Chains A and B, each alone.
Chain A
Amino acid sequence: MFDTTLRIAPFVIRVRSPFASVVEHLEFFYRDCEKPRDAFVDFDIRLLPGQGLHRLWRPQARFLVDDQNPFLPLPANQAAPMFEWGLNWTIASRSLGYVVFHAAVLEKAGNAIILPGFPGAGKSTLCAALSHLRGWRLLSDELAILDPATGALIANPRPISLKNASIDIVTRFPGTRVGRQYLDTRKGTVAHAAPTRDAIERADQSAQPRWLIFPQFSPEPGRQVTPVSHAEAFALIGEQSFNQERMGELGFRALCALLDRVDCHQIEYSSTEDALDLVAQVTQQD
């Protein structure tokens, strides 16, 4: 069985699996991660074949972290995306003192932009475009990890998760490495785009939140920037938070502090170019 220990900032993760697809995925996307020996392991993850007789005609994959088995099994050919989903779940649900919410985070000159993720809003495509076309450093495309002690956002640079139409769009970005496609998952066709080298190498640098931008893709032509009130932004972020309730007062105060320091806008756009222009307009960054 394949057994490796990866440093995927800010965590050390051990992964064991007999699936060739998982090995291929890790080698494609995490080959630059140092593999410390005898390190403290935060999450001990195993992706194992399903149990029971039906594995003979319907092979399945199971995700385990330590002794927990949080998901129903998936078809075995989805073991690699299951690793990413399972790791997201683990980071969001383990109590580690961080506030975790669903958003992409990117940074330029120490200032971070937060793109909360509502389904269909186009967050991942925009995130890939900002990182691969405009030089923003990727902190995460799924998980905003907020440290209440410093108010900083912590980087967890991992492959950007692409769905359906966005796969073709992002594959055309120059210099982008896109992995294998997984068909017929719960989310449709799924593929991943590798973060830039810079994003991995600077993974230990956190960033200060500066802008909160709610992306809204619409097929109708037209583009628009609308300011969003802090109260509304707080409510919207709360909806996207995985553990604000569990974080109690500390989480509440950390989110209030975050909102005190960011400008909040909604952008509506019908093309990636428009979205990039609007972000540049809001952030005054190229």
Chain B
Amino acid sequence: MTPKRSEHIALGLMVSGAFLALAILFFIIAVIMIKGLPHITLRFLLDNPMDMGRAGGIFSTIVSTVYLLVVSLIIAIPLGVGTAIYLTEYTKEGLITKIIRFGTECLAGVPSIILGLFGFILLVIKLGFGWSVLSGGISLSIMILPVIIRTSEEAIKSVPASYRDINKVLGGTRWQGITRLVLPSAAPGILTGVILSVGRGIGETAVVIFTLGTSLRIPFSLFDSGRSMAVHFYLLAREGISMNNAYATAAVLVFSILFINILSYYLMHRFVARRR
């Protein structure tokens, strides 16, 4: 085979691979949209589920999902960003950073069903939080923590080293440098990590089903149980309750992820543009 020919074949394989990947994405979205969109109405969004989800809407599951995500982000963002700051700004590369990084990688590799079980045993049973937004939020925060640490670390590392030098020259402490220069400059990157983790969290079932529960009411207190959209979809489909409502829920889920992504890119670009 001539080098030119092998070049052509390699290129052809890679292009078709890329298109195949894209095609799968479009196929999945298309199926969900075709089967789900016709059933999405304003009432579907604003009504609570009735008859175990056979009728009515998905309002309570939307509320549960948002509530769950907010709680998990409130826990995971300070922990994750704090860890990233410690790793990049306060320690020299060494045994400790290696251990922390290795631990983070391991945490990222833990199957979500294990995290669900862990949350169930520790939070739901042992600590007596029961199936609740609190249990679900804590468990989910453990799942998204590695993503936030990793992306925040990369974002903080990409802040020019000269900022830290000048901060010193101008008499700023390390903490002042972090809060006034490093974090604002790293914010778009950190935000990307947060969005990524919201995307993962919003579609998570295994962690949530054991810890948030499956109740169809609207959760008010942190100790109320609820049912996230993803879990709702899973139960509707698995128990064959209503495929129409299952697909409609899935469509709402996909739309939310799309919306969050677009919004975050918009915010990010605005943020970056303002600082240029």
**Bound pair (A, B):** no
Interface residues of B (CB under 8 A from A): none
